[in-house]
């Protein structure tokens, strides 16, 4: 029983046990869930530098189902368990008010364990089985809140189900072509396959992983799903679940299809790589500006997740060692700061009784300082302010992209400024400005929500200042995928074209901060003053009407909103209506009169005989 | 070694004993079908080892095959017999508590007759005998559809009756043709002599017989009766109808096309017909708001898929088709049974009335969810191996046309997923009018749990059924071994 | 031409045409509303201002309505622009009066100002709150008997200067 | 020697920035026919502001301002001033681009905390304006980096020594023109002085800044002016070998900016964005395409 | 910038800074606005003395009240004065704030402004010309030099008296007192 089998056994066993314990007593179940996720984190941490494959099950028509661990799957598994554990801790308080919590915990742990299964899968069949379990358990969790969540859940499941059907077709066509489903053997067989077959495989897997990764054409389901899912789960959903698509892309591009062939796949102009790059670039640009339009905090974050997935896609699809390291590191940093942001927004939603609309919040910094610091650090990570992990990963991506294709770098850099705008709108509308009357008696964030926030903020800064820690593991991945390794030092990269040194930067910024703080201290003491004592041209500050945060970037939005209608969202809706319309039409065949039915039978026979007489095809 | 004839004789005898037992003591009648089917199930299980070596052929009344009637119990026949007895047993346990009011005696008698007819069709080796058992099956199902006696029940059973009789009439004409040409009614004999006759003359009888049996097995143009019959019949009966009756019809069509006629170039047409039925079934189900009609249309869809799998006529796809058939019997049965009690509790068949059922009847909704997930083909449940085999077998053939059809199959699975998930969302995530929690009665729950265990077991460890199914598919496909064992 | 119509229509009305295009009417308190509506229908629908004059010696307050037509052609048959001054007198001690907001919504601020400055109580006025003044006065300030110097002494005089500055 | 440079270059930047502010007011006054304050007037203002005791709106109000000034100070370390370039080896142009984020972000957070609608309108205008000029600016910077095939700014300066000012070398002429067109917006000079407009939104984000805070804000403004001009001189005008010539070049650019400031009225924010996204962006884009085509 | 100027700068830079950088917030009520523009534009140019108009009281150190003060504007004047940072000076232009001036008998204007807020300098004249304003400013310099321009200190020390006067005229003020009023709860 290798570590991997124990891990999956404990994970899936834990799910059953949580549900049963939930029947007995909720506090017992909560502690068990937290302990279980901690144990999972420890098990995976212990499997740090191991690689290996074991066949763990032959029951499925004798096809060997294999579990595999290498540095790539280790880093993904580590993030999944880490974020899963934090979201369980986060949901202790969040779920207290809601009913059917044991169902929620069981599903949350089921999603986490099925993601671990995906990541550890050694062959495509195991991958597909865990992929499907993840899909339908996410569906149950997304539509957990009822009401609008149901439409969001339906849209999610239909798109992801279509994706997994495409994946099934791909897997089975590989099975029929090579007779085996083990990834290592497929990689060997793949080089011999015809390029048409390879393109088909890439397209099919691309659709499946594109839907999950919310790449630009397949992103329609994500905003509603994120906004409606309960906050602890939307932290997992946007942090880690989206990244299963990333894992899938890495798998198909570099392992199944292999590095050499991927780079030259497809024609000169329309090569798969350039299409992916262009899709990644569009995924950065369009959602960033759509995020500006959003008034719901979680929808804004959802659109920003899509945008950041575009960055990761750029990093991975570009195909040099620096860009791959940048892509994986950006995945890691995005998981950390995006779940931090979702948790803080969840805490605000929890404390203000479910208000997520950015126009009716404000001034919460005085009431919820912890949530503010969490959001501030998360936002700095999202933008990529130096000293945060977002900066390091974006720097890596740009460094590799700049000389190859400056246009893509331009799109990515301009996307950063779009990120600045919408993330500032998030932090300004929730925490700064005047505190409205109805939010007067909001208390601070509960303890169980503070803990994950502190840990995640600490990780954002730690990986920002000492990027060597994650980069050492990522270097192993880069090497295992067939690139040449980078020389990593603890605080940055010593690469050929200009190096990154975070410690000097950190020291410089720290010195600057201290100097300016002292300079401020020279000045006379300042008087703390409440929000009413404000300049209002001599008049008294009107209560509750001075909270000017509505339509924050109106001049810009009036210029660009006509271009931002979501054509794909309406496209999918049209397809749904079309099927509905078509099926109503077809149902009319069964008219309800027996005469018609018998006439059908006779018609069938006469048609057959007529065809036989005329052409006798049989 | 027990004589397989008992498989037919015992349920037939007990069926006619039911009124006598009823006059003796009211309570006992409900348990008669359970006993009969339990006996059948045990008998089938004991026959498995014997059948696996070589099929058992019994000549009724001692006459040798070309003249006498013979039973042919091969792995395929036994598979169906076992399936019928198992599903019948579970439904009979379910209907212990479900059927209380109305003519209970007639229900149980007709129920036994229906199952006898089904077992007879599956085991017989003689064409006319097939027609006789087929008639028993149809007539008892006409009557059972009208069991509730309400307006919808009677109307749909009359429609079913008219279509069924037209079908049987065509079947009879077909058999007459064959008898005219070959002078014999024994399938093996006909199969042997088939080569002597010129193919175009054989076409008309084949189409007539296929159309006749097709009406019962719900192939596209002929299945107009199914939605009304299944939705107005009591749930236990619609479970049996879509679980067993259609499958038996399909077996008969397959037996005739494969073994009796064996014209291989018509298979592609049946594949197209199967896909057509699948798409139409799924589309109509998508547009339904009444839960039982939705399940009925989804049965049409599944039958289309199985027909497509059988029509591809390679060992792999036929095994997949049979696996999907077994899965369909169990999960569709589970869906109908659980829907039965939910409708009984909520009062109306509309999906909107099922809102919030997850809280009121948690176990029944769980059963419904498991059934839905397995029918759609999600991994841990029985549907996934079936679909996996069908799709891999189809792609193995490698023809471009088949690949496109497989694409359509996957597309229809997406549609199927949509309307099943819509119902699941209604069950769990829409809040109903909040009556307090009230579970289904004990017998119904045991029936559902049994089916659930079967589904999950098949889903997790499909290997144990796989070898039995592959021998059954080889029994269906190669004509020579069938003829050899009958006319040895 | 309007003169004759007015004379025929209303009995106790006195009409004088002192300036070229200015018509002066004066009427008793209870007839004012009918004249106003008559003039409005005739086309004089623009109420310039309502002002008030305090005739302290004959104990009366005089209200003056100044009306005119927006455009010349609004008023059929009139050749050139005509301003109409409508005067009425009410008692000075408890001046009750009816509001003309129903006919001329623009009258609202004028009536509030007259109420504040002269103490005329307009019945039916939706909001007789103070318009310009900060403090409340016992004698409305614009009345002739309001002695500003004396008011200034006792209000502003009484404010002590801070810490012994010489009171200039 | 290295340590002195670390301390010396930010101080130098501050000094020059404040000198530029004073000079700006003097030149503006001269243009308007009045004597104008002594050139060291900003210094006097800062001393007076520091001695005043003003109101503070909470912790984020302080930290945000401190963060923004610290960010600008760190940028000066990266920008070569003549030969003095203390930190230019640990991270090139990309780090500068990202460090330029901290200034506006810190200012935005602290003035957001001051809970005044004028401040909120001011910040949204500041970020929109930044979005406006970033589009052409990024195109110009990318064209430069593609042309000189390096991301380190000191290398760009040294390469320009032999190929001449990049403003006049062939492929970069378009980028140079575009950079000139957006320079007033980057310096926050009159036609684009939308952010701290005293008349409309009573000096935007600075509405609640009292004594010491206003001192920090003026220093931040001075530094931003210095950074904008020195970046332009380094990238486009070849950045001199010794600091004096560098300072003279900065003076020329500064005077250019002030003349524009003295003459033009203030644009509305959407007019500013529409202008910035029309002609300068087109020229910059053409410049980048030109560089890509000829360069590679 | 002769020698003793430099000596003064080194002795006490803060006082000199206060003198030579008076950022002004103008309260232009009534006829005061007429005199301000000429004093800050080309002909008289107040900026030579470091006097610039600023938008908000927070950034100002000199508060110029130009013209008569009616009851309603007194409320805003008090609020603006209280929002200015601590070392602040007040100068009133015109004779109206001194003793009511032309409106000495009006029921609606304040007669003696220094009873409600401390005024450091008063420049008489029914709107003094810019030269008079600059003379006033130079006097203010000497006051600052001699530490006599201590209006804000007087406001702080006997705030309760000022507050009482304000509430006597304006009734209950709707913002809390700037400094704790001893003797009250």
pLDDT tens column, A410-452: 999 999 989 999 999 999 999 988 888 888 888 888 888 899 9
Indicate if ipTM > 0.90: no
In sequence order, which ranges of A237-271 are alpha helices (DSSP H)? 242-250, 259-264
Residue C78 has pLDDT above 80, yes or no: no
Contact B428 A140 (CB under 8 A): yes
CB neighbourhood size of A9 (10 A): 13
Contact D139 A410 (CB under 8 A): yes
Q: Read off the CATH number of the domain in which E144 is found.
A: 3.40.50.12280
Alpha carbons B440 and E82: distance in angstroms, whole number: 76
Residue B432, CA atoms < 13 Å, CB-side half-sphere: 24
pLDDT category of residue C167 using cuts at 50, 70 and 90: very low
The answer to whether A495 and A322 are in contact (CB under 8 A) is yes
B154 and B108, same structural domain? yes
DSSP state of C12: S
Q: Tell me, yes or no, whether E41 lies in a domain.
A: yes
Domain spans of chain D, in order of start: 2-295
- Mean pLDDT, chain B, as a whole number? 86
Alpha carbons A452 and A449: distance in angstroms, whole number: 6
DSSP helix/strand/coil, A440: coil
Burial D253-288 (b: 16+ CB within 10 A, else e): bbebbbebbbeeeebebbebbebbbeebbebbbbbb
Closest chain A CA to residue D72: A512
* pLDDT tens, residue by residue, B109-127: 899 999 999 999 998 888 8
Contacts 24+ apart (CB under 8 A), A68-72: A68/A4, A68/A120, A68/A121, A68/A122, A68/A183, A68/A184, A69/A3, A69/A4, A69/A120, A70/A480, A71/A473, A71/A476, A71/A477, A71/A480, A72/A247, A72/A250, A72/A477, A72/A480, A72/A481
Q: Domain of residue B234: give its range.
A: 1-165+226-258
Contact B384 A59 (CB under 8 A): no
Q: List the 242-271 stretch of B: residues with Cβ below 8 A of A.
A: 263, 265-266, 269
Selecting from E17, E48, E55 the residue whose C-beta is nearest the C-beta of D48 gives E17
B271 and B153, same structural domain? no
Q: List the 349-388 stretch of B: residues with Cβ below 8 A of A.
A: 373, 378-380, 384-385, 387-388
C2-156, CATH topology level: Beta Polymerase; domain 2 (3.30.460)
Tokens 């749904």 map to which residue? A576
pLDDT category of residue B129 using cuts at 50, 70 and 90: confident
Contact A428 D123 (CB under 8 A): yes
- How large a percentage of chain C has pLDDT more than 70? 90
Instruction: Please tell me if residue A551 touches chain D, with a CB cutoff of 8 Å.
Output: no
Query: How far is residue B321 from each of residues A143, B241, B257, B376, D234, measured CA to CA in Å?
Result: 34, 19, 16, 15, 75
- How large a percentage of chain B has pLDDT more than 70? 98
Residue B188 has pLDDT above 50, yes or no: yes
Contacts of A209 (CB under 8 A, 6+ apart): A163, A244, A245, A246, A248, A249, A252
* pLDDT tens, residue by residue, B440-472: 788 888 889 999 999 999 888 888 788 888 888
DSSP helix/strand/coil, E51: coil
In the predicted model, what is the mean pLDDT of residues B293-299?
91
CB neighbourhood size of A386 (10 A): 25
Residue A496 has pLDDT above 70, yes or no: no
From B447, B324, B427, select the one nearest B366 (Cα to Cα). Answer: B427
Contact A129 B379 (CB under 8 A): yes
Picking from B258, B276, B299, the residue at the C-terminal end of a domain is B258
Count of domains observed in chain B: 2
Q: Tell me, yes or no, whether A3 lies in a domain.
A: no
DSSP helix/strand/coil, C87: strand
Q: Give how far the C-alpha of residue D22 lies from the chain's centroid of Cα atoms, to the nearest Å.
A: 16
Selecting from E45, E55, E61 the residue whose C-beta is nearest the C-beta of D203 gives E55
Question: Which position has the higher pLDDT, A540 or A18?
Answer: A18
Longest dimension (CA), chain C: 73
Instruction: Please tell me if residue B238 touches chain A, with a CB cutoff of 8 Å.
Output: no
Instruction: Please tell me if residue A416 touches chain D, with a CB cutoff of 8 Å.
Output: yes
* pLDDT tens, residue by residue, A356-381: 888 888 888 888 999 999 999 999 99
Which of B51-55, B222-226, D157-161, E164-168 has the lowest average pLDDT? Answer: B51-55
Q: List the 326-385 stretch of A: residues with Cβ below 8 A of D.
A: 363, 365-366, 369, 372, 376, 380, 383-385
Residue A475 has pLDDT above 60, yes or no: yes
Best E105, E165, E170 residue to mutate vs chain C (most C CBs within 10 Å): E105
Alpha carbons A470 and A463: distance in angstroms, whole number: 7
Alpha carbons C93 and E27: distance in angstroms, whole number: 41
* pLDDT tens, residue by residue, E82-140: 889 888 999 999 888 888 888 888 888 888 888 899 999 899 888 888 999 999 999 99
Instruction: Please tell me if residue D265 touches chain A, with a CB cutoff of 8 Å.
Output: no
Contact E48 D36 (CB under 8 A): yes
Contact E59 D51 (CB under 8 A): no
Q: Strand A492-493 to strand A488-489: parallel, antiparallel, or no bridges (unpaired)? A: antiparallel
* pLDDT tens, residue by residue, A99-156: 788 888 999 999 999 999 999 888 888 899 999 999 989 998 998 888 888 889 999 9
What is the pLDDT, as a whole number, of residue A618? 64
What is the pLDDT, as a whole number, of residue A356? 84
What is the pLDDT, as a whole number, of residue D296? 55
The answer to whether B356 and B423 are in contact (CB under 8 A) is no
Count of domains observed in chain E: 1
Rounded to 5 degrees, what angle do the CA atoms B66, B72, B76 make?
140
Contact B162 A580 (CB under 8 A): no
Alpha carbons C27 and C16: distance in angstroms, whole number: 12
Element (H, E) at B468: helix B463-477
- How large a percentage of chain A has pLDDT more than 90? 21
Torsion of CA D178, D181, D182, D185, to 10 degrees: 180
Contact E80 A539 (CB under 8 A): no
Residue C30 has pLDDT above 90, yes or no: no
Q: List the structure tokens of A68.
A: 């595999």
What is the pLDDT, as a whole number, of residue A420? 92
End-to-end CA distance of chain C: 64
What is the pLDDT, as a whole number, of residue A498? 55
Residue A497 has pLDDT above 60, yes or no: no
Counting every residue written for chain E, the total comes to 185
What is the pLDDT, as a whole number, of residue E183? 61
State the nearest Cα–Cα gap between C161 and chain E, in angstroms: 5
Q: List the structure tokens of A344.
A: 């803080």
Residue D23 has pLDDT above 90, yes or no: yes
Burial C134-145 (b: 16+ CB within 10 A, else e): eeebeebbbbee
Q: Tell me, yes or no, whether E78 lies in a domain.
A: yes
- How large a percentage of chain B has pLDDT more than 90? 23
Residue C165 has pLDDT above 50, yes or no: no
Question: Which position has the higher pLDDT, B121 or A403?
Answer: B121
pLDDT category of residue D141 using cuts at 50, 70 and 90: very high
Burial A395-407 (b: 16+ CB within 10 A, else e): bbbbbbbbbebbb
Q: Tell me, yes or no, whether E151 lies in a domain.
A: yes
Q: Tell me, yes or no, whether B455 lies in a domain.
A: yes
Selecting from D34, D51, D203 the residue whose C-beta is nearest the C-beta of E42 gives D34
What is the pLDDT, as a whole number, of residue A112? 92
Q: Which residues pair with B73 in a beta bridge?
A: B56
Domain spans of chain C, in order of start: 2-156
The answer to whether C49 and C110 are in contact (CB under 8 A) is yes
Q: Domain of residue A603: give its range.
A: 569-615
Phi, psi of E77 (to 5 degrees): -60, -45
Instruction: Please tell me if residue D94 touches chain A, with a CB cutoff of 8 Å.
Output: yes
pTM value is 0.88
Q: Strand A527-528 to strand B56-59: parallel, antiparallel, or no bridges (unpaired)? A: unpaired
In sequence order, which ranges of E22-173 are alpha helices (DSSP H)? 36-40, 71-82, 96-99, 130-145, 151-157, 159-170
* pLDDT tens, residue by residue, A416-427: 989 999 999 999
- Mean pLDDT, chain A, as a whole number? 86
The answer to whether C140 and C116 are in contact (CB under 8 A) is yes
């Amino acid at each position: 029983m290798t570590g991997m089998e124990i891990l999956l056994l404990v994970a899936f066993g834990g799910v059953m046990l949580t549900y049963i314990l939930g029947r007995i007593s909720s506090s017992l179940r909560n502690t068990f869930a937290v302990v279980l996720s901690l144990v999972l984190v420890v098990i995976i941490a212990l499997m740090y530098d191991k690689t290996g494959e074991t066949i763990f099950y032959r029951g499925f028509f004798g096809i060997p189902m294999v579990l595999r661990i290498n540095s790539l799957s280790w880093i993904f598994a580590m993030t999944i368990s880490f974020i899963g554990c934090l979201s369980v801790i986060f949901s202790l308080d969040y779920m207290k008010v809601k009913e059917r919590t044991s169902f929620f915990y069981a599903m949350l742990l089921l999603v986490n364990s099925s993601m671990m299964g995906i990541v550890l899968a050694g062959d495509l069949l195991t991958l597909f089985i865990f992929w499907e379990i993840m899909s339908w358990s996410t569906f149950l969790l997304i539509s957990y809140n009822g009401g609008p969540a149901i439409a969001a859940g339906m849209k999610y499941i239909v798109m992801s189900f279509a994706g997994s059907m495409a994946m099934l077709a791909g897997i089975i066509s590989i099975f029929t072509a090579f007779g085996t489903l083990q990834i290592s053997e497929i990689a060997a067989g793949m080089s011999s396959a015809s390029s048409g077959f390879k393109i088909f495989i890439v397209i099919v897997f691309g659709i499946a992983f594109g839907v999950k990764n919310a790449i630009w054409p397949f992103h329609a389901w994500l905003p509603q799903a994120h906004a409606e899912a309960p906050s602890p789960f939307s932290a997992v959903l946007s942090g880690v679940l989206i990244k299963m698509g990333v894992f899938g892309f890495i798998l198909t591009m570099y392992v199944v299809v292999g590095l050499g062939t991927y780079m030259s796949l497809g024609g000169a102009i329309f090569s798969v790589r350039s299409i992916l790059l262009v899709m990644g670039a569009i995924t950065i640009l369009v959602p960033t500006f759509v995020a500006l339009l959003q008034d719901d905090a979680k929808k804004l974050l959802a659109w920003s997740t899509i945008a950041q997935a575009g960055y990761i896609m750029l990093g991975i699809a570009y195909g040099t060692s620096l860009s791959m390291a940048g892509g994986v590191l950006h995945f890691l940093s995005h998981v950390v700061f995006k779940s931090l942001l979702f948790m803080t927004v969840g805490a605000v939603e929890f404390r203000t009784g479910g208000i997520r609309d950015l126009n009716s919040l404000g001034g919460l910094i005085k009431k919820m300082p912890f949530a503010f610091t969490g959001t501030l650090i998360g936002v700095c990570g999202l933008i990529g302010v130096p000293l945060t992990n977002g900066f390091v990963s974006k720097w890596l991506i740009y460094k590799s992209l700049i000389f190859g294709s400056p246009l893509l770098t331009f799109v990515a850099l301009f996307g950063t400024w779009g990120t600045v705008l919408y993330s500032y709108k998030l932090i300004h509308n929730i925490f700064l400005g005047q505190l409205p009357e109805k939010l007067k008696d909001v208390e601070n964030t509960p303890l169980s929500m503070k803990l994950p926030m502190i840990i995640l903020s600490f990780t954002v800064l730690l990986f920002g200042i000492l990027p060597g820690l994650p980069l050492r593991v990522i270097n192993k991945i880069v090497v295992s995928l067939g690139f040449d390794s980078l020389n990593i030092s603890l605080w940055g990269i010593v690469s050929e074209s200009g190096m990154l040194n975070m410690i000097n930067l950190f020291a410089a910024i720290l010195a600057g901060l201290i100097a300016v703080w002292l300079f401020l201290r020279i000045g006379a003491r300042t008087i703390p003053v409440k929000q009413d004592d404000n300049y209002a041209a001599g008049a008294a500050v009107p209560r509750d009407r001075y909270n000017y945060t509505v339509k924050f970037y109106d001049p810009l939005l009036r210029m660009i909103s006509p271009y931002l209608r979501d054509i794909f969202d309406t496209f999918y809706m049209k397809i749904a209506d079309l099927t509905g319309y078509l099926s109503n039409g077809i149902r009319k065949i069964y008219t309800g009169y027996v005469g018609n039915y018998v006439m059908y039978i006779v018609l069938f026979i006469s048609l057959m005989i007529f065809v036989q007489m005329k052409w006798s095809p049989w | 070694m027990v004589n397989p004839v008992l498989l037919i004789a015992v349920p037939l005898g007990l069926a006619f004993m039911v009124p006598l037992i009823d006059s003796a003591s009211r309570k006992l009648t409900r348990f008669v079908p359970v006993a009969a089917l339990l006996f059948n199930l045990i008998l089938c299980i004991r026959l498995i080892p014997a059948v696996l070596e070589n099929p058992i052929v019994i000549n009724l009344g001692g006459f040798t095959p070309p003249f006498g009637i013979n039973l042919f119990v091969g792995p395929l026949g036994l598979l169906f017999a076992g399936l019928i007895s198992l599903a019948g047993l579970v439904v009979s346990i379910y209907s212990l508590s479900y059927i209380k009011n109305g003519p209970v005696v007639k229900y149980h008698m007709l129920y036994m007759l229906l199952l006898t007819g089904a077992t007879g069709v599956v085991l017989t080796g003689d064409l006319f005998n097939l027609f006789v058992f087929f008639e028993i099956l149809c007539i008892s199902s006409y009557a059972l559809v009208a069991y509730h006696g309400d307006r919808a029940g009677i109307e749909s059973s009359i429609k079913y009756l008219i279509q069924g009789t037209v079908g049987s009439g065509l079947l009879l004409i077909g058999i007459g043709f064959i008898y005219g040409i070959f002078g014999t009614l024994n399938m093996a004999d006909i199969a042997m002599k088939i080569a002597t006759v010129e193919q175009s003359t054989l076409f008309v009888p084949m189409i007539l017989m296929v159309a006749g049996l097709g009406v019962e097995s719900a192939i596209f143009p002929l299945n107009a009766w199914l939605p009304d019959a299944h939705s107005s019949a009591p749930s236990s009966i619609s479970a049996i109808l879509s679980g067993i009756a259609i499958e038996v019809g399909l077996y008969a069509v397959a037996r005739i096309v494969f073994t009796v006629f064996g014209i291989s170039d018509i298979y592609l047409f049946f594949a197209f017909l199967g896909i057509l039925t699948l798409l139409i079934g799924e589309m109509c189900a998508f547009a339904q708001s009444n839960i039982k009609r939705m399940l009925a249309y989804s049965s049409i869809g599944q039958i289309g898929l199985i027909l497509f799998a059988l029509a591809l006529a390679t060992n792999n796809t036929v095994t997949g088709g049979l696996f999907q058939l077994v899965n369909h019997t169990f999960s569709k049965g589970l869906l109908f049974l659980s829907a039965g009690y939910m409708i009984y509790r909520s009062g109306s068949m509309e999906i909107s009335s099922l809102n919030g059922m997850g809280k009121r009847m948690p176990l029944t909704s769980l059963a419904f969810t498991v059934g839905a997930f397995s029918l759609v083909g999600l991994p841990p449940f029985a549907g996934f191996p079936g679909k996996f085999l069908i799709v891999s077998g189809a792609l193995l053939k490698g023809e471009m046309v088949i690949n496109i059809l497989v694409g359509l199959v996957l597309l229809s699975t997406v549609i199927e997923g949509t309307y099943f998930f819509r119902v699941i969302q209604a069950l769990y995530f829409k809040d109903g009018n909040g009556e307090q929690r009230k579970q289904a009665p004990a017998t119904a729950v045991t029936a559902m749990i049994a089916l659930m265990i079967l589904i999950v077991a098949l889903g997790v460890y499909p290997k144990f059924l796989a070898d039995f199914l592959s021998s059954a598919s080889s029994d269906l496909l190669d004509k020579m071994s069938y003829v050899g064992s009958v006319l040895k | 031409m309007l003169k004759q119509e007015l004379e025929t229509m209303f009995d106790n009305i006195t009409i004088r045409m002192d300036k070229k295009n200015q018509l002066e009417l004066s009427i008793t308190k209870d007839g004012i509303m009918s004249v106003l509506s008559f003039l409005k229908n005739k086309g004089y629908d623009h109420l310039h201002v309502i002002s008030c004059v305090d005739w302290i010696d004959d104990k009366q307050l005089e209200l003056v309505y100044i009306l005119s037509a927006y455009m010349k052609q609004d008023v059929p048959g009139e050749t050139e622009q005509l301003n109409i001054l409508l005067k009425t007198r009410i008692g000075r001690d408890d001046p009750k009066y009816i509001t003309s907001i129903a006919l001329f919504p623009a009258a609202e601020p004028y009536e509030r100002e007259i109420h504040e400055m002269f103490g005329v109580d307009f019945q039916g006025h939706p909001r007789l709150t103070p318009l310009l003044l900060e403090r409340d006065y016992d004698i409305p300030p614009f009345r002739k008997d309001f002695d500003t110097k004396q008011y200034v002494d006792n209000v502003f005089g009484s404010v002590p200067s801070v810490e012994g500055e010489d009171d200039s | 020697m290295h340590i002195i440079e670390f301390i010396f270059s930010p101080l130098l930047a501050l000094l020059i920035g404040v000198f530029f502010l004073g000079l700006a007011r003097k030149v503006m006054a001269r243009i308007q026919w009045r004597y104008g304050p002594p050139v060291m007037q900003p210094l006097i203002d800062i001393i007076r502001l520091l001695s005043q005791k003003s109101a503070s709106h909470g912790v984020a109000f302080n930290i945000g301002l401190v963060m923004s000034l610290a960010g600008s100070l760190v940028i000066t370390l990266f920008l070569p001033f003549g030969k003095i370039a203390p930190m230019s080896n640990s991270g090139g142009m990309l780090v500068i681009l990202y460090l330029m984020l901290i200034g506006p972000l810190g200012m935005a957070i602290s003035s957001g905390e001051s809970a005044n609608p004028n401040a909120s309108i001011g910040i949204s205008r500041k970020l929109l304006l930044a979005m406006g000029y970033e589009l052409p600016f990024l195109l110009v910077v990318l064209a430069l980096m593609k042309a000189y095939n390096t991301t380190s700014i000191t290398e760009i300066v040294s390469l320009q020594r032999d190929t001449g000012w990049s403003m006049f070398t062939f492929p970069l002429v378009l980028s140079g023109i575009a950079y000139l067109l957006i320079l007033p917006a980057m310096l926050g000079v009159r036609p684009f002085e939308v952010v701290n407009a005293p008349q409309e939104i009573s000096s935007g984000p600075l509405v609640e800044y009292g004594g010491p805070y206003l001192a920090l804000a003026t220093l931040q403004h001075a530094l931003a002016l210095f950074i904008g001009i020195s970046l332009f001189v380094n990238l486009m005008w070849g950045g001199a070998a010794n600091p004096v010539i560098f300072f003279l070049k900065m003076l020329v650019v500064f005077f250019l900016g002030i003349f524009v400031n003295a003459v033009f009225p203030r644009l509305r924010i959407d007019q500013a964005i529409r202008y910035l996204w029309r002609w300068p962006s087109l020229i910059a884009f053409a410049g980048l395409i030109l560089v890509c085509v000829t360069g590679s | 910038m002769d020698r003793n100027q430099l000596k003064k700068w080194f002795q006490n830079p803060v006082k000199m800074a206060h003198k030579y950088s008076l950022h002004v917030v103008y309260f232009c009520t009534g006829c005061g606005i007429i005199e301000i523009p000429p004093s800050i534009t080309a002909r008289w140019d107040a900026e030579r003395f470091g006097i610039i108009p600023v938008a908000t009281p927070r950034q100002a150190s000199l508060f110029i009240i130009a013209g008569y003060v009616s009851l309603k504007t007194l409320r805003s004047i008090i609020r603006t004065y209280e929002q200015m940072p601590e070392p602040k000076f007040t100068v009133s232009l015109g004779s109206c704030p001194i003793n009511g001036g032309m409106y000495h008998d009006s029921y609606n204007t304040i007669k003696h402004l220094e009873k409600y807020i401390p005024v450091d300098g008063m420049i008489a004249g029914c709107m003094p010309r810019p030269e008079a304003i600059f003379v006033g400013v130079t006097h203010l310099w000497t006051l600052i030099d001699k530490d006599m321009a201590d209006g804000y200190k007087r406001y702080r020390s006997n705030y309760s008296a000022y507050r009482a006067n304000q509430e006597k005229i304006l009734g209950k003020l709707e913002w809390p007192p700037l400094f704790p009023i001893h003797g009250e709860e």
